């Protein structure tokens, strides 16, 4: 059983329960304006997270507000490098203005899923993170192209799993275009996360067990039952004796 784990959520996306979620998580991935948010909302989210002592991370996206950054599209690696560098750099500057250090980066939505499969896009994002601050922690799906790129560039990583999403047999997330993409029962989700931590596997939609490594656990902040999911997950982890804490950057 893993003894220490991070609990993160994607915030600053216009959800109604960000502050309640910030009372429960240890890391916040804040939208950088390309799929949701704007400079004012980003700065407000940073200050609110600071008040709760939550680790701060940039949540860069494709430039796609219309589809909330969740629609895959053709995009070059050079464009991705520029988009991510811009968003992460601006976020780091706003953190400094709020008197807070930035801790990590996690790509959003379609950008995350595309880069998990495609090495060129994965390297573009990893290089962007490296260009802004080589000490930032890079949240990555286990055994993905993103993790491989980060390791090759010697970035510190935190392997991420999702409490509220279903998995395919290859370890990727079930597409949101499918009706079985999301879990809807907080108790079931918490039980599955405990099994990930205890046995190192997750049950895929075909019934098979897929190997998985966990260092940070995400619950999406824009789902209707987000607060219930986070609260039940935290309760269950604490019951199992797991310490919930953000990942610490290497010195």
Q: What pLDDT does 2 receive?
A: 83
Q: Is residue 132 part of a domain?
A: yes
CA angle 213/120/180 to nearest 5° reads 50
Q: Is residue 250 part of a domain?
A: no
Q: Is residue 168 part of a domain?
A: yes
| pLDDT tens-digit readout, 173-223 | 999 999 999 999 999 999 999 999 999 999 999 999 999 999 999 998 887
Domain residues for the domain of 111 are 4-244
| pLDDT tens-digit readout, 54-88 | 999 999 999 999 999 999 999 999 999 999 999 99
- For position 52, which CATH number holds? 3.20.20.370
Q: Is residue 251 part of a domain?
A: no
DSSP state of 51: H
| pLDDT tens-digit readout, 20-50 | 999 999 999 999 999 999 999 999 999 999 9
Q: Is residue 249 part of a domain?
A: no
DSSP, collapsed to helix, strand or coil, labels residue 5 as strand
What is the value of pTM for the model shown? 0.96
DSSP, collapsed to helix, strand or coil, labels residue 196 as helix
Spatial distance between the Cα atoms of 226 and 164, rounded to a whole number of angstroms: 9
Q: Is residue 36 part of a domain?
A: yes
DSSP, collapsed to helix, strand or coil, labels residue 106 as coil
Sign of the Cα torsion 144, 72, 184, 157 reads positive
Q: Is residue 33 part of a domain?
A: yes
CA-nearest of 160, 52, 177, 45 to 107 is 160
* CA distances (Å), origin 82, targets 10, 61, 230: 22, 11, 33
Q: What pLDDT does 100 receive?
A: 96
Q: Is residue 19 part of a domain?
A: yes
How many domains, the chain? 1
């Amino acid at each position: 059983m893993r003894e220490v784990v991070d609990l993160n959520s994607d915030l600053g996306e216009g959800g109604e329960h960000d502050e309640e979620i910030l009372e429960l998580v240890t890391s916040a991935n804040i939208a950088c304006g390309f799929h949701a948010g704007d400079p004012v909302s980003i700065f407000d989210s940073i200050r609110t997270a600071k008040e709760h002592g939550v680790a701060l991370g940039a949540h860069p996206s494709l430039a796609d507000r219309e589809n909330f950054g969740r629609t895959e599209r053709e995009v070059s690696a050079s464009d991705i490098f520029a988009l991510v560098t811009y968003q992460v750099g601006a976020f780091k500057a706003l953190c400094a203005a709020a008197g807070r250090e930035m801790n990590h980066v996690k790509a959003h939505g379609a950008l995350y899923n595309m880069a998990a499969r495609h090495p060129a896009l994965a390297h573009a994002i990893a290089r962007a993170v490296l260009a802004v601050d080589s000490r930032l922690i890079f949240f990555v799906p286990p055994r993905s192209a993103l993790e491989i790129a980060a390791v090759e560039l010697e970035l510190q990583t935190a392997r991420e799993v999702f409490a509220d999403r279903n998995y395919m047999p290859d370890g990727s997330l079930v597409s949101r275009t499918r009706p079985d993409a999301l879990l809807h029962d907080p108790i079931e989700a918490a039980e599955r996360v405990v099994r990930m931590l205890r046995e190192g596997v997750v049950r895929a939609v075909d019934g098979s067990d897929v190997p998985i490594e966990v260092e940070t656990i995400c619950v999406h902040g824009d789902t209707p039952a987000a607060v219930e999911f986070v609260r039940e997950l935290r309760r269950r982890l604490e019951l199992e004796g797991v310490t919930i804490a953000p990942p610490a950057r290497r010195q």
